[in-house]
Chains A and B, each alone.
Chain A
Amino acid sequence: MPVDKKRITGPEETQSPLLFQKYDKSSVILVDENGKRQDERDANDCRPIFMKAGVVSQAQGSAYIELGKTKVICAVYGPREVLRREDFSMTGILKCDFKFATFSCPVRRKFQPDTEEREFALIIEQALSPAVCLHKFPKSQVDINIKVLENDGSALSAAIICSSVALSDAAVEMYDVVTACSLRLSEDTMLLDPTYQEEVTSIRGDSNANLTIGLLPSINQTSAMLQKGHIDCDRLLKWTPLKSFLHYLLPSRCPSLLVFCLTTQRIADLYGGLSENLPHGPRVPQEVGHKQTPTGERNGTRRRKMIAVSKNGKREQNDRRQN
């Protein structure tokens, strides 16, 4: 693989201390006798999700997601003109850049995107393409930049969800929101939304695989599928219960989450106004108010026009004007 010799990188002779730790792999138990995992979840439980849109003020759209301890941030720039003349096409192009922050994984990652990151970028591009109305922005491209701040498993699924929320925040026209979930399959267990520890623990001699699915829930179509590891065909096909689970779980959470997170009037109109009922699970960011001034402008002005409702119900902006 050609290596970039122009950049000055740190010394390469360093090694992570984790490589010198001797631990007994066979003593790691993924599911104990009560059917509970290491973090007290059931095999079919997802970790609690927190999502917020509009976190990067300079970008047209952005989103931040926390899936348990996995943290991913995504910024969307576009649609804008294609940077390279050779890429001219009558449909829009999605360009995705995926990167793990160097401190995000247990073993330090290189500054340059490595092969796994390039593969994930390609998969996310292909996962989002069926959902985006590409014919609406010809000769243009949309840049999606994803950064994983902390990787505790299911980073690819978190990135797919985060980037579709960011695309909707950027008001890129879409047919559907793309949801994703990861699964850890082995001979007799199926663990939903695995943590990093669960993903890498390999049981030698047993069939074990990691599967990530990207789904368009409204039309029930799969847009991304990545399986790594060793698994029997029939075992793989048994994940249909997962699909229906995904179909039921994430979209029922996502619309209400979207409504809550997104502050653009256009998206709020789509879902019939802001919902007062908070979905079960995610934490409430305190600064998002209940009332907002309709504004036609995006990118920056909308935040200034947000009116916070204070505890006594009076509009604070009114108070400030009077002073």
Chain B
Amino acid sequence: MATAQLSEGEKTFIIHGIMEDVRTDGRSCEEYRQVEVECGVVSNTSGSSRLRLLNTEVIVGVKAEMGDPSPSHPNEGRLEFMVDFSANASPEFEGRGGDDLSVEMSTRFAEVFRTQSVLDLVSLGIIDGQCCWILYVDIVVLECGGNLLDAMSLAVKAALANTRIPKVTVLKDSEGGEDIEVSDDPDGYSTLNIDMVPLFVTLSKIGQRHVVDATLEEECCCSASLVTSVDSSGKFTGVVKKGTSSLSNESLHEMLQATKKVGIQLHHSLNEVLKEVGSNTSGRGFLVG
């Protein structure tokens, strides 16, 4: 991860401030930074979104393609995640530098979305055992300002809300084989039900307290963090402890309780925004009006 270089004095300043529930930008420990979400920003995709969490910027593009279903679930479609760290975010991501981190994050997403009730994958099936929709969710990190996973999961949820999958009709031709016809009607699409899609909430332990939405400087002072994926009802679909330090029982309890509270609030806020901009497909830019 792109890290800021901090001196011991700066770290002490941040840790002491957090002990008093005051962070360097004036937020409280469980407050998020200002989030900007835009949907339908890339016109070549089936769904896209752009998210800005002050200094962290992420663009997600979802492309729906047809392919073979996995043999263990022949009637379901699937999602494939790929996180790409662009060299814009940090010079250490140039070439293959961002690979390790990208694999780690793609795995986190894949793992969480593999849980059964997250998305209705059966609706993505076309012909049992032969053809299904595969949604390639590609996340590009343009700017790295801390708290990447949370930002990426918010953007992914927004992009999935924006995704339009063309309607498909399966015709039986004269020899008994099956022919697939994709509708070219601009209104002939179906959208995904994203109610159960979870969001990542990262809680970083700094000193004796935990903070939500750590900035790059705060991440340097953090000894351990808990990355939880929470759905809108507060259920956990994946918990991982990261970092080289250990956590005590009480910290763990506090952090998990806080995660549930923060997660539900985050879902609520995002759903409010998506009601307005979720179905936007105008393809924004400076030239297009």
Contact = CB atoms under 8 A, between A and B. Distances in A.
A207 interface: yes
A123 B224 CA distance: 12
Nearest to B263: A233
Contacts of B240: 123, 225-227
B104 A227 contact: no
A221 interface: yes
A185 to B, nearest CB: 11
A122 B235 contact: no
Interface stretch (B31-39, B43-51, B180-188, B245-253): B245-253
Interface in A128-145: 129-130
A130 B248 CA distance: 12
Interface residues of A, number: 39
A118 B246 contact: no
B110 A229 contact: no
A222 B246 CA distance: 5
B274 interface: no
A205 B244 CA distance: 36
B111 interface: yes
Nearest to A2: B99
Contacts of B82: 1
Contacts of B107: 115-116, 118-119
Q: Is the interface of B mostly helix, strand, loop or mixed?
A: mixed
Nearest to B71: A19
Interface in A21-42: none
Q: Is the interface of A mostly helix, strand, loop or mixed?
A: mixed
B235 A207 contact: yes
Interface stretch (A70-78, A236-244, A264-272, A302-310): A236-244
Contacts of B260: 233
Interface in B142-196: none
A74 B248 CA distance: 27
A15 interface: yes
Contacts of A232: 234-236
Contact of A118 (B103, B234, B241): B103
A230 B247 contact: no
B65 to A, nearest CB: 16
A130 B244 contact: yes
A321 interface: no
A220 interface: yes
B242 interface: yes
Contact of B247 (A211, A222, A233, A240): A222
A216 B82 CA distance: 35
B249 A236 contact: no
A267 B120 CA distance: 55
A115 B244 contact: no
Contacts of A237: 253, 256-257
A221 B71 contact: no
A1 to B, nearest CB: 7
Contacts of B246: 130, 216, 219, 221-223
Nearest to B237: A230
Interface in A190-216: 202, 204-205, 207, 209, 211, 216
A193 to B, nearest CB: 19
A59 B117 CA distance: 46
Contact of B248 (A2, A15, A115, A222): A222
A283 B71 CA distance: 41
A184 to B, nearest CB: 15
A181 to B, nearest CB: 15
A202 B73 CA distance: 14
Please give me the 9 A-B residue pairs with the lowest Cβ-Cβ distance, nearest first: A221-B246, A227-B239, A129-B244, A225-B241, A130-B246, A115-B107, A223-B246, A233-B260, A19-B71
23 contacts: A1-B82, A2-B99, A119-B111, A130-B245, A202-B116, A204-B116, A211-B239, A216-B246, A221-B247, A222-B246, A222-B247, A222-B248, A222-B249, A225-B240, A225-B252, A226-B241, A227-B236, A229-B115, A230-B116, A231-B236, A232-B236, A233-B257, A240-B253
Given A223-B241, A243-B249, 17 more contacts: A19-B71, A19-B72, A115-B106, A115-B110, A118-B104, A122-B104, A222-B246, A222-B249, A225-B226, A225-B247, A225-B252, A226-B240, A228-B238, A233-B256, A233-B259, A236-B239, A237-B256
